[in-house]
Amino acid sequence: MTLCSPQSKRFEMINLVPLKKLKLPPKIIALTKTLKPYSFFKGGVAREALITHFSYYDRIYRKPLDYDFIVFASDYEDTLEWDHNLQESYWEDSPIFTDEEEDEYYRLKGLGDTEKGVSKESYFESRDNTLNEVLLGRKGLYFTSEAKKDSCGAMIGGTDDQRPRVALRNLLLSVRLGHNPPQYDYKSLLSGATVIDELIPILKAYSLGLADRYYQRLSKYNREIKRDTDPDFYLLRLLAQFKLERGRPFNPKDSYSREVIQSVIDRSY
């Protein structure tokens, strides 16, 4: 157990705990040691390392659902991108890989989802919640002071990204971790949420075996959702709403979501 110290200025410094001080499963340690200086675990693997290390109680590292990596490029260029939702163009930093970095990127893609990044600083500043402001690399665990503070306090802090889909994804994460939810205005966010914003997290909740618990927490913020009475009827209403709006049934790409939808339909009719 590691005691928590007061929070320092946000993003003023990226902190590091050496790898040898972390309580990680042998397989995670072995994989981490194969990483290059510019490649890292992100997502669940790194987040579990953070929470386990800074928890006030003796918390056992939870097995990750999958592996997520990021490879940072040694150079980047400004490229003009197009936002289909806003119907406008914008400039974005795009990574430029060396051959060695490219090889590492494709090696990690064979192990899990892998992202291309520009820098650790820009990565931390673009996260959807404070507990994701963390990376695990061969030298150890990199994290912001805000990530440390919220892992100590069993909290999930929101960031400047106030989109409904992000808020609902973080609400589900709070259910999964048993932490206090981020302080969003969920009533307002749900009133502006699209059907896809709501479908994605409820289907994820089913995949995690958390549909009932997620629905119970979500229903506190919206009368219409509360009137659905349970997650199955909530999902069925969303599917009907999608079909009405789009003129076609919702057909997710992943097989598990398709199986969930079919099983809910089978037991409801």
Contact between 214 and 172 under an 8 Å Cβ cutoff? The reply is: yes
| pTM summary value | 0.71
Burial classification of residue 40, based on how many CB atoms lie within 10 Å of its CB (0-12 exposed, 13-18 middle, 19 or more buried): buried
pLDDT string in tens for the chain (269-residue length): 444 444 434 445 789 999 999 989 999 999 999 999 999 999 999 999 998 898 766 667 778 778 999 999 988 766 655 555 444 554 466 788 999 999 999 999 999 999 999 888 889 988 888 889 999 999 999 999 888 988 887 778 776 677 898 899 889 988 988 888 888 888 998 999 999 999 999 999 998 899 999 999 999 999 999 999 999 999 999 999 999 999 999 988 888 899 999 999 988 87
* Residue 155 to residue 182: CA distance in whole angstroms: 7
Cβ-based neighbours of 139, under 8 Å, separated by 6 or more: 16, 18, 19, 37
Let me know: does 47 contact 173? Beta carbons within 8 Å.
no
Asked if 50 and 141 count as a contact pair (C-beta separation under 8 A), the reply is: yes
